Amino acid sequence: MEMNSSNLWVFIETNEKGQAHNVGLELLNPGHSLSRAQGDEVVAIVIGQHTEAAVASAEAYGSDRIIIVEGEEYARYSTDAFAYAFHALITKYAPTSILIGATDLGRDLAPRLACRLKTGLTADCTELDFDEESGNIAWTRPAFGGNLMARILCPNHRPQIGTVRPAVFKKPEQDTSHKAEIVREEIHFSIENIRTKLIEEILDADNETIDLEGAEIIVSGGRGVGGPDGFKVIQQLADALGGTVGASRVAVDSGWISSAHQVGQTGKTVRPRIYIACGISGAIQHLAAMSSSDTIIAINTDPEAPIFKIADYGIVGDLFKVIPEFIALIDEQILTMAV
């Protein structure tokens, strides 16, 4: 069965258990609107082994069609096997656009595909739109160190490819009754031809326990915390709220806290229910990564700090005086954060 070149593809990244990563399901959200604007369907691409769970998720979150490539060689990601399979699919079906999560895997796979296909790639996007005049996807990403937001079009080559940061978009509404057309492709790559081999996996314990992208409440500290000891009060507020500790780039670069906590252009993009920015001025690199939070609370001594322009609630004051008051009210159950 051949597809015309109006289809938009979303790559559903999976883990070793065959479950879908959130970022692929999140990308089905803009995938729906963009594919409709292009006049066609959103197609989920699943490559892996034992992919039943990922396929079920892609279907429940609204894919019109799902193309599956399964095999032992896809049990763990390798550039050789995945690029080969994905390129074979693109050559056969000729999609017009492809959305890939800006994960470690996606940042490796997408440029390899773009090079083979001799097409453009817009990396680390934070916004997607459809340009009615040209009929192209408008990819928006930070540029010049995050000081500008660039709007990029790829008018002369197909497919258009972009990687999009996790947590930029919300997942669509789940509908377990929705049915997608399932297409299975037999594409195999010899395991002997995979040029990289995993010898040993060493996990960073901090990175394993810090889930900024999935956090409902984040309390972040910036330059205003003054040093590593300043994050103790940030941690106390996060603990009181059942939240996660975040940080600005300057705090991470200063060595006050590990990079696993970093929110920003060079860190994680987040979309929590509540984001509390403590001693963070609000540089564009940071704002671009957390401005989609449902509720933003800012604590800063500078009433002119840019963070106040996007905050739903602002407190001008010393965070070391304000936060203990917050915690006391929470402990007394006078203050709740169900805002």
The pLDDT tens digits for 244-301 are: 999 999 999 999 999 999 998 778 889 899 999 999 999 888 988 898 899 999 999 9
Q: Is there a single domain that holds both residue 58 and residue 168?
A: yes
Q: Is there a single domain that holds both residue 88 and residue 213?
A: no
End position of a domain, from candidates 169, 193, 217: 193
Q: Is there a single domain that holds both residue 233 and residue 296?
A: yes
Q: At what angle do helices 231-241 and 319-331 cross, to 10 degrees?
A: 20
Question: Count H helices, E strands: the chain?
Answer: 10, 15
pLDDT surpassing 70 at residue 116: yes
Identify any residues that bridge with 3 across adjacent strands, giving them in sequence order: none
Q: Is there a single domain that holds both residue 71 and residue 174?
A: yes
Q: Is there a single domain that holds both residue 188 and residue 218?
A: no
> How do residues 33-70 score in pLDDT, each as one tens digit?
998 888 789 999 999 999 999 999 999 999 999 999 99
pLDDT surpassing 90 at residue 16: no
Averaged pLDDT for residues 1-22: 80
Question: Which domain CATH number covers 270?
Answer: 3.40.50.1220
Residue 331 confidence (pLDDT):
80
Residue 134 confidence (pLDDT):
86
Residue 277 confidence (pLDDT):
97
Which burial class, exposed, middle or buried, applies to 80 when counting CB atoms under 10 A from its CB (0-12, 13-18, 19+)? Answer: middle
Q: Answer for the pair 179, 63: CB distance below 8 angstroms, yes or no.
A: no
Average pLDDT, the chain: 90
Residue 202 confidence (pLDDT):
76
Percent of the chain surpassing pLDDT 70: 94
Q: Is there a single domain that holds both residue 189 and residue 213?
A: no
92 within a domain of the structure (yes/no)? yes
pTM above 0.85, yes or no: no
Residue 207 confidence (pLDDT):
53
Q: Is there a single domain that holds both residue 44 and residue 189?
A: yes
Task: List the domain range (segments joined by +) for residue 245.
Answer: 205-331
pLDDT surpassing 70 at residue 334: no
Q: Is the peptide bond before 303 cis (omega within 30 degrees of 0)?
A: no
Q: Is there a single domain that holds both residue 209 and residue 133?
A: no
- The total of structural domains in the chain comes to 2
284 within a domain of the structure (yes/no)? yes
pLDDT surpassing 60 at residue 339: no
Q: Tokens in use for 166?
A: 């996790």
35 within a domain of the structure (yes/no)? yes
Q: Is there a single domain that holds both residue 159 and residue 237?
A: no
pLDDT band at 205 (very low <50, low <70, confident <90, very high): low
Q: Is there a single domain that holds both residue 53 and residue 180?
A: yes
End position of a domain, from candidates 140, 170, 193: 193
pLDDT surpassing 90 at residue 210: no
End position of a domain, from candidates 172, 193, 214: 193
Which CA distances in Å does 295 have to 137, 142, 181, 262, 314? Answer: 29, 23, 38, 19, 11
> How do residues 119-158 score in pLDDT, each as one tens digit?
999 999 988 999 888 889 999 887 766 667 889 999 889 9
Which CA distances in Å does 96 have to 159, 160, 271? Answer: 5, 6, 29
1 within a domain of the structure (yes/no)? no
Q: Is there a single domain that holds both residue 320 and residue 219?
A: yes
Averaged pLDDT for residues 215-241: 95
Q: Is there a single domain that holds both residue 237 and residue 313?
A: yes
CA distance 301 to 319: 8
